[in-house]
A and B are shown apart, each in its own frame.
Chain A
Amino acid sequence: MTITSATITSATDTHCPYCALQCGMRLTPAGRTVEVAPREFPTNRGGLCRKGWTAAEVLTVGDRVTRPLVRDADGDLVAATWERALAVVADGLRDVRRRHGADAVGVFGGGGLTNEKAYHLGKFARVALGTSRIDYNGRFCMSSAAAAANRALGVDRGLPFPVTDLDAASTILLLGSNPAATMPPLLSHLQGARERGGLVVVDPRRSQTAELTAEGGGTHLAPAPGTDLVLLLGLTHVVLAEGLADEAYLGERTEGLRELRLSVNAWWPERVQQVTGVPVGRIRDVARRLAAGNGVYVITGRGVEQHVDGTDTATAAINLALVLGLVGRPGSGYGTLTGQGNGQGGREHGQKCDQLPGYRSISDPAARKHMAGVWGVAADELPGPGLPAVELLASMGRPGGVRALLVHGSNVVVSAPDAGAVRAGLGGLDLLVVCDFVLSETAELADVVLPVTQWAEEEGTTTSLEGRVLRRRAAVPPPGEARSDLWVLAELARLLDAPGAWPTEPAQVFDELARASAGGPADYSGLSHRLLDTGVAAYWPCPAHVIPEPGSRVTVEGDVVGTPRLFADRFPRPGGRARLVPVTPVVREPLGQRGGQLTMITGRLLEHYQSGAQTRRVPELLAAQPRLTAELHPATASRLRLVEGDEVSVRSPRGSVRARLRLSPGMRLDTVFLPFHYAGAECTNLLTEAAVDPVSRMPEFKRTLVVVGPPDDEADQEDLP
């Protein structure tokens, strides 16, 4: 179905384009754009944050890409026909493949793409390009929590329970997450715990969320950056040492208690205090509060996951939840707050370098056979595991590395670590193709920019942070010549003589995705656009056999299909038990703190989303947060002879950025906070290092040694390690 203004006449129910909360929205056509209104939906309960309210403005931003752009002989991006642009891409891909092999072509996806696009992107890489080199920006988001949940619980669904379950909690341990800025409407679900004095926020800075613990709302623990793992081991130590563990649960539902006990025995609270800076008394109090029961949740966010020990840290959080007997018990649990709009679905359908749809392993012969059957190719023709994002980007232009890159829904020159090196790598490619709806900083570097549809212009599905599959619906026709990524991939597949079928209708692609996922951990086989349009609340896994026959009464609004709550009876692991994986912190030298040396942590602001490609184009949001700010404790600033509003430079061995100084007594003395939404000389990821977690390959975003000082100061780099 082609969307035209004629086909859209009345209000359209859909979801917000931004975070994984996927707030319910109603869009009403208003000329070339739409008017946004919130709608009753369990995650947002009729509320929206500032980003959501202004979401429609991104549809009509001034530099919206509305025609394909191809770089000409003078090096300028100029408008071209789709035919020519696609021919340039297809020729370029063929050429690179012929000269350097299939793995010289890379694909970089995103957690904002719909399930249908994510699925087709993975299929396109493996079937049409024959490359193993595909990964996506979710590597920078969810990979550590995903790896931890997979190895401990047997499946990775961010929240294995509906968000609304949190309402009745008496205690919520929120580790490294600042939903007050990143997904504000979630706060209504934390309100119950707050009223019961049980909101425990672990964050090196007194974030807006940490501020909610004031006046009896709960407790804020501010460990030194990068010491969350040790803090979790200390909490678990106290639970075990004081006899607060749920021994019956541990005996019936877990394995590995002995090894876990040994590993946490070495982390008694006094030792934990010496590493984390969190006083012993607070550690004991929090452990006891968690053990007091009556609805307890342990929730992690990027603050504890985006580290070189992120997988182990998330594992330690799961271990704590298991020792307390929370996981799979009604009214309690463990979860991770997924960040990007389709950060959940985006990590299930084959964008990951080691993954096939349905959250299957690409190394599993049975999974390969199954997918080869769905795709109509031979199993041995499917490539094996590729390179995770950081390694994929690092390979650009290197011998044996990627020489052509297709980027969909990602702005890597802003969001990837060591962004300066990424920019250089992109410059060394033979071909860079970017599919985007605005001329992002990455698109500016491309040889070909292909204009694609966004959010309110397309049909599809996303999977929210609670594993619920949602319909995204078109409310307005796409501008100019913008086309769906599905169409782009189908055209390229045709030009490349790819085997298999390449439908462009989202509902059809979803049906194939559902078939492909059948029997996998993330099973969508019982779902279809038609079923979702009946208004059911659908949580995966939702195998075909749980869906009633067509025509039966599963059409009533509010009906639930699939699995809202996982782990009630068993864990999807051999033997059915959760695994307590003992983890040991690698002792890292504490970061220095002389001269202007500080530990930099990164994060998000309420007004901006990820690389800022969308939100920096919304005047109201940009006006509220126009440029990079560095947040510092007043005493630290005074030691460095800096005052509020000063222009400062922040430097690391990899680069330097300019920022405006903001003083905040809620900062630790040793820490500086920089949001990562800005580009150019304000791109925070120029400073971060491309060091990765050995399991998840998550980069270290939140423990970078930097030097803060006045700009253009002759301060040499000698202070740096």
Chain B
Amino acid sequence: MNQPVRPPAPAAARPSRVVLVGYGPVGARFVEGLLPAVAAGSMTLTVLGAEAEDAYNRVLVGEYAVGRTDRQRLEITDTAAARAAGVTIRTAEAAVAVDRYRQRVRTGAGDHVPYDRLVLATGSRANVPRLGGLEGVGRVPSAPPDATGDLDRGRAVRPRGVVTLRDLRDAETVREVVGTRGRVVVLGAGVLGMEIALAVRDVGAEVSVVHTGETPMAGTLDRDGGRMLARAARRAGVEVHAHAVAESVSLRQTGSGAQFRGLVCADGTFVGGDLLLLSCGVRPRTELAEAAGLDTEFGILVEPDLRCWGDPDVFAVGDCAQVAAPGDRGPDGRVGGAPSGLLAPGWRQAEALASRLVAEAEGRSPVDRGPAPRRPHVVMVKASGVDVVAGGTVDVDPWDEAVDGAREVSQWLDPARGRYVRTVARDGVLDGFVAVGAPRAGAELTLLLERGAELPEDPGVVLRLDSAHEATVSSGPDDPAATVCWCNGVPAGTVTEAAAAGAVTVEDVGRATRAGTGCGGCRGRIAELLSCAAGAQAGTTHGHDHPDPVLAPA
């Protein structure tokens, strides 16, 4: 498998024919990057997409599934414009084999499409766990790449009311159940599982989440973060079953086949519902690459510049691509890491690869941006009213000095107000964070992590960003140095001095100091200062806050 079919030949000088396999959101972004060059005639591009639909935004499929958005909002690419620019887009036509020796792709329709550069953006498919009652509905591991149906949906008939929420067809099923206020059971508490559960609840349907372990999103959040999320979800009305190992689905037979009626857990718990939504992770679609003799591990192995190991003419981007330096194998021969499963990194890859292929096709040397910095990925829960964002290394014991002396953990935990912020720094640089119920901190920490930035010396500054008092200015209103009139840069002290020198009205102060002679917005404040000064001059014992109206100037 690791041996290329043909010796690595020098890459064709100009990638005049580019073939893209996969027309999901990452593929579509790649197409957009190539459009100008295709329109200019410096290359041709053929796209093979297994789905009949144009590329759409999978990130928002959950929102579509609960009816919070319409189909139009999922559209992210202008297929008609791409075709008009000269791109050949064949939807509902899967690539079933790659002949790297002849440099051509065989399609499901039996056609052969030649390439100089091949880009794989085959994405990933949802895992279907082994559960009693769902035998044969998951991926068939031995199926050949041309059996796309078997690969994605299994051979057995899936019971009604069991979906994976990966594509529009799944979403339509969810929409139906949610629309009739049916009850939804979500198996798995990763970010997608929690998002859909919160969204279903948000639109008014009943929902349960069933997950193993103590807390949700255990791969992303530390224990406290997970507990905060579970509490927030429960408060939102989501029923959460922790420590629950699903064993089988309970089905009832109807006139139109088997229908889901509940999930049975190993401890005997029965979680009833009208729809089972499987949210148990995804797996890259690597069959095509494997059959073509390309190196794969969890995903298709690509170098940091997205070239497949061992074939300079084939690339992979997005959910199917696992970035690793060649030879980066562990002692067991395996290559660590996995695709991020997030869209933003996939889009960055698509853009980078497109601009490079365009530069090559136009005979320019590509802009050398250097290897893309490897940043920890940030995961954010899309849900109204529940703010959870986290990234990087978070599960570090603050007391464990033995782990790594250079690592520091800081946290703010306030369950009563639903707020939790934790930062993990290594040598002063942010290494990971969790923010729950702290939107400003979460947003700023995201930027800091993505930039590999240093944390403030006192991380408390970030932990407290969401506290109500953080935004207020330092100088109090009674500070003589506090500016009263912005237009003329006049501080309160100068107004008070003017009053002491005999100014009685706001106009007097204006003539003496120009305060209040700009936009006029501070005239009320000047009047206040005048009345305070008058009070002080009259020798009252009242403080600034209690000017005596009787003693104020007429």
Across the interface, A262 reaches (CB within 8 A) one of B77, B452, B517, B520, namely B77
CB distance from B522 to the nearest CB of A (A): 9
Among B348, B440, B472, B489, the most chain A Cβ lie within 10 Å of the Cβ of B489
> Are the C-beta atoms of B521 and A191 separated by less than 8 Å?
yes
Q: Which residues of A contact B443 (CB under 8 A)?
A: 273-274, 276-279
Total contacting residues, chain B, CB less than 8 A: 58
> Are the C-beta atoms of B351 and A587 separated by less than 8 Å?
yes
Is residue A509 within 8 Å, beta carbon to beta carbon, of the partner chain? no
Q: Which residues of B contact A38 (CB under 8 A)?
A: 517
Contact with B along A25-64 (1 / 0, CB 8 A): 0000000000000100000010111100100000000000
> Are the C-beta atoms of B76 and A266 separated by less than 8 Å?
yes
Whole-angstrom distance between the alpha carbons of A276 and B382 in the complex?
16
> Are the C-beta atoms of A265 and B76 separated by less than 8 Å?
yes
> Are the C-beta atoms of B519 and A185 separated by less than 8 Å?
yes
Q: Which residues of B contact A606 (CB under 8 A)?
A: 486-487, 489
Given A49-B488, A265-B57, residue A590 in contact with residue B451 (CB < 8 A): yes
> Are the C-beta atoms of B489 and A50 separated by less than 8 Å?
yes
Given A266-B76, A274-B446, residue A666 in contact with residue B473 (CB < 8 A): yes
Whole-angstrom distance between the alpha carbons of A633 and B448 in the complex?
15
Total contacting residues, chain A, CB less than 8 A: 60
Is residue A342 within 8 Å, beta carbon to beta carbon, of the partner chain? no
Q: Which residues of B contact A636 (CB under 8 A)?
A: 456
Contact with B along A248-292 (1 / 0, CB 8 A): 000000000011011001101011011011111110000000000
Whole-angstrom distance between the alpha carbons of A133 and B519 in the complex?
41
> Are the C-beta atoms of B514 and A50 separated by less than 8 Å?
yes
> Are the C-beta atoms of B387 and A281 separated by less than 8 Å?
yes
> Are the C-beta atoms of B471 and A274 separated by less than 8 Å?
no
Whole-angstrom distance between the alpha carbons of A282 and B429 in the complex?
28
Q: Which residues of B contact A197 (CB under 8 A)?
A: none
Is residue B258 within 8 Å, beta carbon to beta carbon, of the partner chain? no
Contact with B along A408-444 (1 / 0, CB 8 A): 0000000000000000000000000000000000000
> Are the C-beta atoms of B439 and A670 separated by less than 8 Å?
no
Q: Which residues of A contact B382 (CB under 8 A)?
A: 268, 270, 280
> Are the C-beta atoms of B489 and A624 separated by less than 8 Å?
yes
> Are the C-beta atoms of A593 and B448 separated by less than 8 Å?
yes
Whole-angstrom distance between the alpha carbons of A661 and B517 in the complex?
30
Contact with A along B455-497 (1 / 0, CB 8 A): 0111001100000000111100000000100111100000000
Whole-angstrom distance between the alpha carbons of A91 and B77 in the complex?
60
Chain B minimum-CB-distance residue to A586: B351
Q: Which residues of A contact B514 (CB under 8 A)?
A: 48, 50, 53
Is residue B325 within 8 Å, beta carbon to beta carbon, of the partner chain? no
Is residue B414 within 8 Å, beta carbon to beta carbon, of the partner chain? no
> Are the C-beta atoms of B439 and A265 separated by less than 8 Å?
no
Q: Which residues of A contact B74 (CB under 8 A)?
A: 265
> Are the C-beta atoms of A214 and B471 separated by less than 8 Å?
yes
B55-100 contacts to A, CB under 8 A, are 57, 59-60, 69, 72-78, 81
Q: Which residues of A contact B77 (CB under 8 A)?
A: 262
Is residue B364 within 8 Å, beta carbon to beta carbon, of the partner chain? no
Contact with B along A597-618 (1 / 0, CB 8 A): 0000000001100000000000
Whole-angstrom distance between the alpha carbons of A281 and B429 in the complex?
28
Is residue B380 within 8 Å, beta carbon to beta carbon, of the partner chain? yes
Chain A minimum-CB-distance residue to B429: A594
Across the interface, B518 reaches (CB within 8 A) one of A49, A240, A587, A593, namely A49
Whole-angstrom distance between the alpha carbons of A638 and B455 in the complex?
11
Whole-angstrom distance between the alpha carbons of A665 and B461 in the complex?
10
> Are the C-beta atoms of A268 and B461 separated by less than 8 Å?
no
Is residue A716 within 8 Å, beta carbon to beta carbon, of the partner chain? no
Is residue B447 within 8 Å, beta carbon to beta carbon, of the partner chain? yes
Q: How many A-B residue pairs have CB under 8 A?
A: 160
Q: Which residues of A contact B60 (CB under 8 A)?
A: 268
CB distance from B168 to the nearest CB of A (A): 15
Is residue A184 within 8 Å, beta carbon to beta carbon, of the partner chain? yes
CB distance from B473 to the nearest CB of A (A): 7
Given A587-B351, A669-B456, A669-B461, residue A266 in contact with residue B518 (CB < 8 A): no
> Are the C-beta atoms of A282 and B439 separated by less than 8 Å?
yes
Is residue A164 within 8 Å, beta carbon to beta carbon, of the partner chain? no
Is residue A241 within 8 Å, beta carbon to beta carbon, of the partner chain? yes
Whole-angstrom distance between the alpha carbons of A615 and B453 in the complex?
39
Is residue B444 within 8 Å, beta carbon to beta carbon, of the partner chain? yes
Whole-angstrom distance between the alpha carbons of A261 and B73 in the complex?
8
> Are the C-beta atoms of A187 and B458 separated by less than 8 Å?
no
B331-352 contacts to A, CB under 8 A, are 343-344, 347-348, 351
Chain B minimum-CB-distance residue to A620: B489
Whole-angstrom distance between the alpha carbons of A158 and B483 in the complex?
31
Whole-angstrom distance between the alpha carbons of A153 and B202 in the complex?
40
Q: Which residues of B contact A96 (CB under 8 A)?
A: none
CB distance from B46 to the nearest CB of A (A): 22
Given A274-B378, A587-B348, A636-B456, residue A188 in contact with residue B521 (CB < 8 A): yes
Given A184-B519, A606-B489, residue A280 in contact with residue B439 (CB < 8 A): yes
Whole-angstrom distance between the alpha carbons of A266 and B78 in the complex?
12
CB distance from B510 to the nearest CB of A (A): 9
Is residue A180 within 8 Å, beta carbon to beta carbon, of the partner chain? yes
Q: Which residues of B contact A50 (CB under 8 A)?
A: 487-489, 514, 518
CB distance from A709 to the nearest CB of B (A): 14
> Are the C-beta atoms of A669 and B518 separated by less than 8 Å?
no
Q: Which residues of A contact B297 (CB under 8 A)?
A: none
Given A279-B440, A591-B451, residue A184 in contact with residue B429 (CB < 8 A): no
CB distance from A645 to the nearest CB of B (A): 14
Whole-angstrom distance between the alpha carbons of A270 and B429 in the complex?
24
> Are the C-beta atoms of B451 and A274 separated by less than 8 Å?
no
Chain B minimum-CB-distance residue to A607: B489
10 interchain pairs, CB-CB under 8 A:
A47-B518, A49-B488, A50-B489, A241-B73, A265-B74, A274-B450, A277-B443, A589-B373, A593-B448, A636-B456
**4 shortest interchain CB distances as A-B pairs:** A279-B439, A184-B487, A593-B453, A635-B456
Q: Which positions in A face B, CB cutoff 8 Å?
A: 38, 45, 47-50, 53, 180-181, 184-188, 191, 206, 208, 211, 214, 220, 224, 240-241, 258-259, 261-262, 265-266, 268, 270-271, 273-274, 276-282, 587, 589-594, 606-607, 624, 633, 635-636, 638-639, 665-666, 669-670
